[in-house]
């Protein structure tokens, strides 16, 4: 596998939290807490609810804050009779860079299938944005020794029909479902093992070059106190952060993990 440097990506998934006033306050506080050096060492994205996107975009662009705007999901069609849905074209128009796709909450609560996730991955790419494709096992699957089967299936299905070059430029988030919002975190050793397995799966479905450059995040109760250990693993290239990203101080502490490691 070719040796490449992968800039870590730390993404804050705000889920259904923060109205647009709270979003503006949070992003302004985050920008105050993070220094130029912090934002040069890693890439950072925030994923507010749809109703906050325009407000957060305005703050980021007006103050030239080097934090990318992200979305939490989208539809796969450009337009049409899809009441309540949001077009990837609309997100691209707001300068959204990253779109989370196949988050376990979308899969488990809203019934998103692998096929739907794959259609969304392709639509996000078509509109010039970067998918953050989520995968991960339930506690039952983990205890049954089915983690690899589940994760490989989601990665293969999610990336079907995507070129190796596109795969190399996107992001995969390994998020064990039992660790999301529970305060339970996979050990750094376990998270590393699954992320290495995801990378090997990418080599198989795309190419060795794609596997070397694809960024693989870990997600599941990442906090300032465990970020350094998790993100020091060779196959973990950042984090998808839920709860801790809602509090600017906590999210800043995670983003600043390279300086804490030094």
* Subset of 142-201 contacting ligand PEP (CB under 6 A): 175, 180-181
The reply to whether 222 sits near ligand PEP by the rule CB under 6 A is yes
Residue 103 falls in the annotated catalytic set = yes
The reply to whether 219 sits near ligand PEP by the rule CB under 6 A is yes
Q: How far is the CB of 256 from ligand PEP (least distance, A)?
A: 17
The C-alpha atoms of residue 79 and residue 84 are separated, in whole angstroms, by: 12
Q: Spell out, one character per residue from 14 to 53, where the chain touches ligand PEP: x when CB under 6 A holds, - when not.
A: -x--------------------------------------
The reply to whether 226 sits near ligand PEP by the rule CB under 6 A is no
Q: Read off the DSSP letter of residue 188.
A: H
The number of angstroms, rounded, from the C-alpha of 181 to the middle of its chain's C-alpha atoms is 15
Per DSSP bridges, beta strands 68-71 and 130-135 are unpaired
Give how many residues touch ligand PEP by CB under 6 A: 14
Taking the CA atoms of residue 49, residue 52, residue 57 and residue 60 in that order, the dihedral angle to the nearest 10 degrees is -90
Sign of torsion, CA 157 160 162 168? Answer: positive
- CB–CB of 127/91 below 8 Å? yes
Nearer to ligand PEP, 180 or 255 (CB): 180
- CB–CB of 133/175 below 8 Å? no
Please identify which of the residues 47, 103, 105, 141 carries the catalytic annotation: 103
**CA gyration radius for the chain?**
17
Nearer to ligand PEP, 194 or 206 (CB): 194
Q: How far is the CB of 242 from ligand PEP (least distance, A)?
A: 2
The C-alpha atoms of residue 231 and residue 14 are separated, in whole angstroms, by: 20
Binding range to ligand PEP, per CB under 6 A, among 50-58, 80-88, 144-152, 237-245: 237-245
For ligand PEP, the binding residues (CB under 6 A) are 13, 15, 175, 180-181, 219-222, 240-244
Catalytic residues: 103, 175
């Amino acid at each position: 596998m070719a040796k490449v440097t992968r800039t870590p990506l730390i993404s804050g998934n705000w889920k259904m939290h923060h109205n647009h006033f709270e979003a503006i306050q949070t992003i302004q506080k985050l920008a105050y807490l993070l220094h130029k050096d912090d934002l040069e060492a890693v890439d950072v994205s925030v994923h507010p609810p749809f109703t906050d996107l325009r407000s957060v975009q305005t703050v980021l662009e007006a103050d030239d804050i080097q934090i990318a705007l992200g979305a939490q999901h989208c539809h796969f069609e450009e337009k049409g009779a899809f009441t309540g849905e949001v077009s990837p074209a609309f997100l691209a128009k707001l300068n959204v860079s990253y779109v989370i796709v196949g988050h376990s909450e979308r899969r488990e609560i809203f019934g998103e299938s692998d096929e739907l996730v794959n259609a969304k991955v392709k639509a996000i790419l078509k509109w010039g944005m970067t998918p953050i494709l989520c995968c991960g096992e339930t506690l039952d699957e983990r205890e049954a020794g089915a983690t690899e089967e589940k994760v490989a299936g989601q990665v293969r299905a999610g990336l079907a029909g995507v070129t190796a070059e596109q795969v190399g430029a996107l992001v995969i988030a390994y998020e064990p479902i039992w660790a999301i919002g529970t305060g339970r975190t996979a050990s750094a050793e376990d998270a590393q093992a699954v992320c290495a397995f995801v990378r090997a799966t990418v080599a198989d479905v795309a190419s060795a070059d794609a596997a070397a450059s694809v960024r693989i995040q870990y997600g599941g109760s990442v906090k300032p106190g465990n970020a350094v250990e998790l993100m020091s693993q060779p196959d973990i290239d950042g984090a998808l952060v839920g709860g801790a990203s809602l509090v600017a101080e906590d999210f800043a502490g995670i983003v600043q993990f390279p300086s804490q490691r030094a």
